[in-house]
Chain A
Protein backbone atom coordinates (compact mmCIF):
# COMPACT_ATOMS: atom_id res chain seq x y z
CA UNK A 1 0.00 0.00 0.00
CA UNK A 2 1.47 3.33 -1.03
CA UNK A 3 0.33 6.92 -0.61
CA UNK A 4 -0.53 9.45 -3.33
CA UNK A 5 2.88 11.09 -2.97
CA UNK A 6 4.57 7.89 -4.18
CA UNK A 7 2.72 7.45 -7.46
CA UNK A 8 5.98 7.64 -9.41
CA UNK A 9 7.14 4.33 -7.96
CA UNK A 10 7.44 1.30 -10.23
CA UNK A 11 5.38 -1.85 -10.14
CA UNK A 12 8.40 -4.14 -10.52
CA UNK A 13 10.14 -6.85 -8.59
CA UNK A 14 12.84 -4.38 -7.56
CA UNK A 15 10.44 -1.76 -6.25
CA UNK A 16 6.81 -2.73 -5.70
CA UNK A 17 6.55 -6.46 -6.31
CA UNK A 18 3.07 -7.48 -7.39
CA UNK A 19 1.36 -10.53 -8.80
CA UNK A 20 0.19 -8.34 -11.63
CA UNK A 21 -2.78 -6.71 -9.97
CA UNK A 22 -3.16 -3.37 -8.29
CA UNK A 23 -6.01 -1.45 -6.75
CA UNK A 24 -6.56 2.27 -6.73
CA UNK A 25 -8.57 3.90 -3.94
CA UNK A 26 -9.72 7.50 -4.05
CA UNK A 27 -9.83 9.93 -1.16
CA UNK A 28 -13.39 9.01 -0.20
CA UNK A 29 -12.28 5.55 0.90
CA UNK A 30 -11.48 4.69 4.49
CA UNK A 31 -7.94 3.32 4.81
CA UNK A 32 -8.66 1.56 8.09
CA UNK A 33 -11.66 -0.25 6.61
CA UNK A 34 -9.54 -1.30 3.63
CA UNK A 35 -6.93 -2.75 6.00
CA UNK A 36 -9.72 -4.42 7.99
CA UNK A 37 -11.06 -5.99 4.83
CA UNK A 38 -7.62 -7.43 4.01
CA UNK A 39 -7.31 -8.73 7.57
CA UNK A 40 -10.64 -10.55 7.27
CA UNK A 41 -9.66 -11.94 3.88
CA UNK A 42 -6.40 -13.44 5.11
CA UNK A 43 -7.92 -14.75 8.34
CA UNK A 44 -10.26 -16.70 6.08
CA UNK A 45 -7.67 -17.69 3.49
CA UNK A 46 -5.06 -19.06 5.90
CA UNK A 47 -4.89 -22.82 5.39
CA UNK A 48 -4.06 -23.45 9.04
CA UNK A 49 -0.84 -25.39 8.57
CA UNK A 50 1.50 -23.18 10.57
CA UNK A 51 0.92 -21.46 13.91
CA UNK A 52 1.93 -17.86 13.06
CA UNK A 53 -0.40 -17.61 10.06
CA UNK A 54 -3.26 -19.74 11.41
CA UNK A 55 -3.49 -17.89 14.73
CA UNK A 56 -1.72 -14.66 13.80
CA UNK A 57 -4.16 -13.74 11.03
CA UNK A 58 -7.01 -14.33 13.51
CA UNK A 59 -5.33 -12.12 16.10
CA UNK A 60 -4.84 -9.36 13.51
CA UNK A 61 -8.49 -9.60 12.44
CA UNK A 62 -9.75 -9.46 16.03
CA UNK A 63 -7.46 -6.61 17.05
CA UNK A 64 -8.37 -4.51 14.02
CA UNK A 65 -12.08 -5.20 14.60
CA UNK A 66 -11.60 -3.92 18.14
CA UNK A 67 -10.04 -0.69 16.84
CA UNK A 68 -12.79 -0.22 14.25
CA UNK A 69 -15.46 -0.78 16.91
CA UNK A 70 -14.02 2.18 18.83
CA UNK A 71 -12.46 0.18 21.67
CA UNK A 72 -8.86 0.51 20.49
CA UNK A 73 -5.96 2.29 22.12
CA UNK A 74 -2.32 2.92 21.20
CA UNK A 75 -1.65 -0.52 22.65
CA UNK A 76 -3.67 -2.20 19.89
CA UNK A 77 -1.71 -0.40 17.16
CA UNK A 78 1.55 -1.55 18.74
CA UNK A 79 0.17 -5.09 18.94
CA UNK A 80 -0.88 -5.06 15.29
CA UNK A 81 2.62 -3.97 14.31
CA UNK A 82 4.29 -6.58 16.48
CA UNK A 83 2.07 -9.47 15.39
CA UNK A 84 2.17 -8.32 11.78
CA UNK A 85 5.95 -8.50 11.85
CA UNK A 86 5.84 -11.94 13.49
CA UNK A 87 3.35 -13.37 10.97
CA UNK A 88 5.49 -11.97 8.16
CA UNK A 89 8.77 -13.37 9.41
CA UNK A 90 7.70 -16.75 10.78
CA UNK A 91 4.98 -18.01 8.45
CA UNK A 92 5.57 -21.05 6.28
CA UNK A 93 4.53 -19.77 2.86
CA UNK A 94 4.01 -16.62 0.84
CA UNK A 95 0.43 -16.14 2.00
CA UNK A 96 1.37 -15.67 5.63
CA UNK A 97 4.56 -13.83 4.72
CA UNK A 98 2.56 -11.17 2.89
CA UNK A 99 -0.80 -11.27 4.72
CA UNK A 100 0.16 -8.45 7.06
CA UNK A 101 1.59 -6.16 4.35
CA UNK A 102 -1.49 -4.04 3.65
CA UNK A 103 -2.04 -3.61 7.39
CA UNK A 104 1.58 -2.71 8.17
CA UNK A 105 1.83 -0.44 5.13
CA UNK A 106 -1.30 1.45 6.08
CA UNK A 107 -0.04 1.88 9.64
CA UNK A 108 3.25 3.20 8.31
CA UNK A 109 1.79 5.63 5.79
CA UNK A 110 -1.60 6.55 7.23
CA UNK A 111 -1.08 6.18 10.96
CA UNK A 112 -3.16 9.29 11.68
CA UNK A 113 -6.18 7.55 10.10
CA UNK A 114 -5.73 4.74 12.61
CA UNK A 115 -5.21 7.18 15.47
CA UNK A 116 -8.50 8.91 14.55
CA UNK A 117 -10.17 5.61 15.42
CA UNK A 118 -8.72 5.25 18.89
CA UNK A 119 -10.92 5.72 21.91
CA UNK A 120 -10.07 8.07 24.72
CA UNK A 121 -9.14 5.41 27.26
CA UNK A 122 -5.62 4.07 27.68
CA UNK A 123 -6.79 0.49 27.56
CA UNK A 124 -10.00 -1.47 27.06
CA UNK A 125 -9.78 -5.16 27.96
CA UNK A 126 -10.43 -7.70 25.20
CA UNK A 127 -12.63 -9.64 27.57
CA UNK A 128 -16.13 -8.21 27.91
CA UNK A 129 -17.01 -9.04 31.50
CA UNK A 130 -20.54 -7.67 31.34
CA UNK A 131 -21.07 -9.57 28.09
CA UNK A 132 -19.98 -12.77 29.84
CA UNK A 133 -22.44 -12.05 32.66
CA UNK A 134 -25.33 -11.80 30.20
CA UNK A 135 -25.43 -15.60 29.88
CA UNK A 136 -25.74 -15.94 33.65
CA UNK A 137 -28.43 -13.25 33.70
CA UNK A 138 -30.41 -15.11 31.05
CA UNK A 139 -30.07 -18.42 32.93
CA UNK A 140 -31.11 -17.00 36.28
CA UNK A 141 -33.77 -14.71 34.88
CA UNK A 142 -32.23 -11.76 36.69
CA UNK A 143 -32.06 -8.23 35.38
CA UNK A 144 -31.68 -6.20 38.57
CA UNK A 145 -28.92 -3.67 39.17
CA UNK A 146 -26.73 -6.13 41.08
CA UNK A 147 -26.68 -8.47 38.09
CA UNK A 148 -25.02 -5.79 35.99
CA UNK A 149 -21.53 -4.41 36.22
CA UNK A 150 -21.58 -0.85 37.45
CA UNK A 151 -20.27 1.09 34.51
Chain B
Protein backbone atom coordinates (compact mmCIF):
# COMPACT_ATOMS: atom_id res chain seq x y z
CA UNK B 1 0.00 0.00 0.00
CA UNK B 2 1.20 3.49 -0.76
CA UNK B 3 2.06 5.65 2.18
CA UNK B 4 1.58 9.37 2.26
CA UNK B 5 3.37 12.02 4.25
CA UNK B 6 3.67 15.71 4.91
CA UNK B 7 6.50 17.60 6.58
CA UNK B 8 5.79 19.61 9.74
CA UNK B 9 8.68 21.78 10.96
CA UNK B 10 11.12 19.47 9.21
CA UNK B 11 9.63 16.27 10.63
CA UNK B 12 8.03 13.74 8.31
CA UNK B 13 4.44 12.95 9.37
CA UNK B 14 2.46 10.12 7.77
CA UNK B 15 -1.22 10.56 6.96
CA UNK B 16 -4.14 8.57 5.61
CA UNK B 17 -5.97 10.17 2.69
CA UNK B 18 -8.87 12.20 4.12
CA UNK B 19 -7.10 13.16 7.32
CA UNK B 20 -6.59 16.82 8.12
CA UNK B 21 -3.17 18.20 9.01
CA UNK B 22 -4.34 18.32 12.65
CA UNK B 23 -5.42 14.66 12.67
CA UNK B 24 -2.17 13.52 11.09
CA UNK B 25 -0.16 15.63 13.54
CA UNK B 26 -2.05 14.35 16.60
CA UNK B 27 -1.52 10.75 15.51
CA UNK B 28 2.20 11.39 15.14
CA UNK B 29 2.39 13.13 18.51
CA UNK B 30 3.11 16.52 16.97
CA UNK B 31 1.33 19.28 18.89
CA UNK B 32 -0.37 22.08 16.99
CA UNK B 33 -1.91 24.61 19.42
CA UNK B 34 -5.71 24.69 19.24
CA UNK B 35 -8.80 25.44 21.32
CA UNK B 36 -12.00 24.95 19.28
CA UNK B 37 -10.85 21.69 17.71
CA UNK B 38 -11.85 18.43 19.40
CA UNK B 39 -11.22 15.00 17.84
CA UNK B 40 -14.82 13.85 18.48
CA UNK B 41 -16.37 16.58 16.38
CA UNK B 42 -16.27 18.04 12.92
CA UNK B 43 -13.69 20.85 12.94
CA UNK B 44 -15.02 24.34 13.54
CA UNK B 45 -12.03 26.42 12.46
CA UNK B 46 -13.01 29.52 14.43
CA UNK B 47 -10.39 30.08 17.12
CA UNK B 48 -7.61 30.19 14.48
CA UNK B 49 -5.02 29.11 17.05
CA UNK B 50 -4.04 26.17 14.81
CA UNK B 51 -3.14 28.48 11.95
CA UNK B 52 -0.04 27.17 10.22
CA UNK B 53 1.73 28.06 7.00
CA UNK B 54 1.30 25.42 4.33
CA UNK B 55 3.74 25.85 1.49
CA UNK B 56 3.99 29.49 2.54
CA UNK B 57 0.25 30.18 2.82
CA UNK B 58 -1.83 30.56 5.96
CA UNK B 59 -4.35 27.80 6.70
CA UNK B 60 -6.02 26.24 9.73
CA UNK B 61 -4.57 22.81 10.43
CA UNK B 62 -7.90 21.50 11.79
CA UNK B 63 -9.79 22.06 8.54
CA UNK B 64 -7.22 21.54 5.78
CA UNK B 65 -6.92 17.98 4.48
CA UNK B 66 -3.32 16.80 4.35
CA UNK B 67 -1.94 16.33 0.84
CA UNK B 68 1.25 14.74 -0.37
CA UNK B 69 4.15 17.17 -0.50
CA UNK B 70 2.79 19.74 1.94
CA UNK B 71 5.46 21.57 3.90
CA UNK B 72 3.92 22.88 7.11
CA UNK B 73 5.39 25.60 9.32
CA UNK B 74 3.97 25.16 12.82
CA UNK B 75 6.16 26.30 15.70
CA UNK B 76 8.21 28.99 13.98
CA UNK B 77 8.75 32.23 15.89
CA UNK B 78 6.49 34.16 13.49
CA UNK B 79 3.54 31.78 13.78
CA UNK B 80 3.89 31.53 17.55
CA UNK B 81 3.99 35.35 17.77
CA UNK B 82 0.73 35.56 15.80
CA UNK B 83 -0.81 32.90 18.07
CA UNK B 84 0.32 34.92 21.07
CA UNK B 85 -1.63 37.93 19.78
CA UNK B 86 -4.70 35.75 19.09
CA UNK B 87 -4.54 34.35 22.62
CA UNK B 88 -4.22 37.85 24.03
CA UNK B 89 -7.28 38.82 22.00
CA UNK B 90 -9.25 35.97 23.60
CA UNK B 91 -8.12 37.10 27.05
CA UNK B 92 -9.04 40.78 26.69
CA UNK B 93 -12.33 40.08 24.92
CA UNK B 94 -13.71 38.21 27.93
CA UNK B 95 -13.02 38.47 31.64
CA UNK B 96 -10.36 35.90 32.42
CA UNK B 97 -8.85 36.00 35.89
CA UNK B 98 -6.63 32.95 36.26
CA UNK B 99 -5.56 33.62 39.88
CA UNK B 100 -9.06 33.08 41.24
CA UNK B 101 -10.55 30.84 38.57
CA UNK B 102 -11.13 27.31 39.79
CA UNK B 103 -10.24 25.96 36.34
CA UNK B 104 -6.72 27.35 36.68
CA UNK B 105 -4.18 24.61 35.95
CA UNK B 106 -6.75 22.56 34.05
CA UNK B 107 -7.62 25.32 31.60
CA UNK B 108 -6.66 24.97 27.95
CA UNK B 109 -6.80 28.71 27.29
CA UNK B 110 -4.35 29.31 30.15
CA UNK B 111 -2.18 26.39 29.02
CA UNK B 112 -2.08 27.62 25.42
CA UNK B 113 -1.20 31.10 26.71
CA UNK B 114 1.80 29.63 28.52
CA UNK B 115 2.69 27.57 25.46
CA UNK B 116 2.81 30.63 23.18
CA UNK B 117 4.74 32.49 25.90
CA UNK B 118 2.08 35.08 26.61
CA UNK B 119 3.27 37.20 29.53
CA UNK B 120 0.85 40.12 29.44
CA UNK B 121 -2.47 40.98 27.87
CA UNK B 122 -0.95 43.59 25.47
CA UNK B 123 -4.36 44.98 24.46
CA UNK B 124 -6.60 47.08 26.67
CA UNK B 125 -9.22 44.87 28.31
CA UNK B 126 -12.76 45.14 26.91
CA UNK B 127 -14.37 44.35 30.29
CA UNK B 128 -17.61 43.12 28.74
CA UNK B 129 -20.68 42.63 30.92
CA UNK B 130 -21.84 39.06 30.55
CA UNK B 131 -24.52 37.31 32.57
CA UNK B 132 -23.57 34.57 35.00
CA UNK B 133 -25.97 31.63 35.32
CA UNK B 134 -25.66 29.78 38.61
CA UNK B 135 -29.30 28.63 38.58
CA UNK B 136 -28.59 24.93 37.97
CA UNK B 137 -28.04 22.90 41.15
CA UNK B 138 -24.95 21.13 39.79
CA UNK B 139 -23.53 23.29 36.99
CA UNK B 140 -22.42 26.89 36.75
CA UNK B 141 -22.24 28.85 33.51
CA UNK B 142 -19.81 31.75 33.69
CA UNK B 143 -20.00 33.53 30.35
CA UNK B 144 -17.08 35.79 31.31
CA UNK B 145 -14.79 32.88 30.47
CA UNK B 146 -16.51 31.76 27.25
CA UNK B 147 -14.39 31.86 24.09
CA UNK B 148 -17.22 30.86 21.74
CA UNK B 149 -15.59 27.64 20.57
CA UNK B 150 -19.01 25.94 20.32
CA UNK B 151 -17.74 22.65 21.78
CA UNK B 152 -20.51 22.62 24.43
CA UNK B 153 -23.07 23.29 21.70
CA UNK B 154 -21.87 20.25 19.76
CA UNK B 155 -21.42 18.02 22.80
CA UNK B 156 -24.93 18.75 24.03
CA UNK B 157 -26.54 18.39 20.63
CA UNK B 158 -24.56 15.53 19.10
CA UNK B 159 -23.52 13.41 22.11
CA UNK B 160 -25.99 14.20 24.92
CA UNK B 161 -28.90 14.62 22.50
CA UNK B 162 -30.22 17.58 24.52
CA UNK B 163 -29.38 20.67 22.48
CA UNK B 164 -28.96 22.84 25.56
CA UNK B 165 -26.58 25.49 24.17
CA UNK B 166 -26.33 27.82 21.22
CA UNK B 167 -24.46 30.93 20.18
CA UNK B 168 -26.60 34.02 19.64
CA UNK B 169 -25.93 37.58 18.63
CA UNK B 170 -23.14 38.60 16.32
CA UNK B 171 -19.72 40.16 16.24
CA UNK B 172 -18.20 40.98 19.57
CA UNK B 173 -21.69 40.68 21.11
CA UNK B 174 -21.89 36.93 20.37
CA UNK B 175 -22.98 35.12 23.53
CA UNK B 176 -23.55 31.58 24.65
CA UNK B 177 -27.28 31.14 25.22
CA UNK B 178 -29.29 28.41 26.90
CA UNK B 179 -32.16 26.76 25.12
CA UNK B 180 -34.97 27.11 27.66
CA UNK B 181 -37.91 29.46 27.93
CA UNK B 182 -36.35 31.36 30.81
CA UNK B 183 -32.89 31.19 29.26
CA UNK B 184 -31.65 29.64 32.49
CA UNK B 185 -29.75 26.40 32.84
CA UNK B 186 -32.00 25.14 35.66
CA UNK B 187 -34.89 24.89 33.20
CA UNK B 188 -33.05 22.51 30.87
CA UNK B 189 -32.56 18.78 31.33
CA UNK B 190 -28.78 19.19 31.47
CA UNK B 191 -27.10 16.93 34.03
CA UNK B 192 -23.61 17.06 35.49
CA UNK B 193 -22.82 13.71 33.85
CA UNK B 194 -23.41 15.19 30.37
CA UNK B 195 -20.48 15.46 27.99
CA UNK B 196 -21.35 19.15 27.59
CA UNK B 197 -20.63 19.72 31.29
CA UNK B 198 -17.05 18.55 30.86
CA UNK B 199 -15.94 19.70 27.42
CA UNK B 200 -15.38 23.43 28.00
CA UNK B 201 -11.71 24.24 27.29
CA UNK B 202 -11.93 27.17 29.73
CA UNK B 203 -13.84 27.64 32.98
CA UNK B 204 -17.11 28.79 31.40
CA UNK B 205 -19.00 25.59 32.22
CA UNK B 206 -18.06 24.03 35.54
CA UNK B 207 -19.54 21.27 37.62
CA UNK B 208 -20.16 22.65 41.09
CA UNK B 209 -18.43 21.45 44.26
CA UNK B 210 -15.47 19.73 42.58
CA UNK B 211 -13.39 22.82 41.84
CA UNK B 212 -10.63 22.18 44.32
CA UNK B 213 -10.63 18.38 44.49
CA UNK B 214 -7.29 18.48 42.69
CA UNK B 215 -5.12 21.04 44.45
CA UNK B 216 -3.32 23.78 42.56
CA UNK B 217 0.12 22.47 41.74
CA UNK B 218 -1.09 18.97 40.90
CA UNK B 219 -3.30 19.86 37.99
CA UNK B 220 -3.11 18.80 34.38
CA UNK B 221 -0.91 21.59 33.08
CA UNK B 222 0.91 22.43 36.32
CA UNK B 223 3.92 20.21 35.70
CA UNK B 224 3.92 19.67 31.94
CA UNK B 225 2.91 22.05 29.19
CA UNK B 226 -0.03 21.50 26.90
CA UNK B 227 2.30 20.44 24.10
CA UNK B 228 3.14 17.33 26.12
CA UNK B 229 -0.27 16.74 27.77
CA UNK B 230 -2.55 17.64 24.87
CA UNK B 231 -6.03 19.07 24.99
CA UNK B 232 -7.75 16.72 27.29
CA UNK B 233 -9.90 17.36 30.29
CA UNK B 234 -9.24 16.03 33.78
CA UNK B 235 -12.73 14.54 34.09
CA UNK B 236 -13.66 12.73 30.93
CA UNK B 237 -16.93 11.06 30.31
CA UNK B 238 -16.22 7.47 29.26
CA UNK B 239 -16.69 7.14 25.56
CA UNK B 240 -18.81 4.31 24.24
A-side residues, CB < 8 A to B, are 43-52, 54-56, 58-59, 62, 82-83, 86, 89-92, 126-127
Contact = CB atoms under 8 A, between A and B. Distances in A.
B58 interface: yes
Contact of B45 (A46, A47, A54, A92): A92
A52 B89 CA distance: 8
Given A46-B172, A48-B148, A90 B58 contact: yes
Given A50-B46, A51-B48, A86 B124 contact: no
Contact of B171 (A44, A52, A89, A90): A44
5 contacts: A48-B169, A51-B49, A52-B48, A58-B172, A86-B82
Contact of A48 (B82, B89, B125, B174): B174
Interface of B: 45-49, 51, 58, 82, 85-86, 89-90, 92-93, 123-126, 147-148, 169-174
Given A55-B92, A83-B85, A47 B171 contact: yes
B124 A48 contact: no
A56 B46 contact: no
Given A55-B172, A90-B86, 11 more contacts: A46-B172, A48-B148, A50-B47, A51-B46, A52-B48, A56-B89, A58-B126, A62-B124, A86-B82, A89-B82, A90-B51
Contacts of A91: 48
**Which DSSP category, helix, strand, loop or mixed, fits chain A's interface?**
helix
A84 B148 CA distance: 22
A54 B174 contact: yes
Contact of A59 (B48, B58, B123): B123
B145 to A, nearest CB: 15
A49 B172 contact: no
Contacts of B174: 48, 54
5 shortest A-B CB distances, which residue pairs?
A126-B124, A55-B89, A48-B174, A48-B171, A46-B171
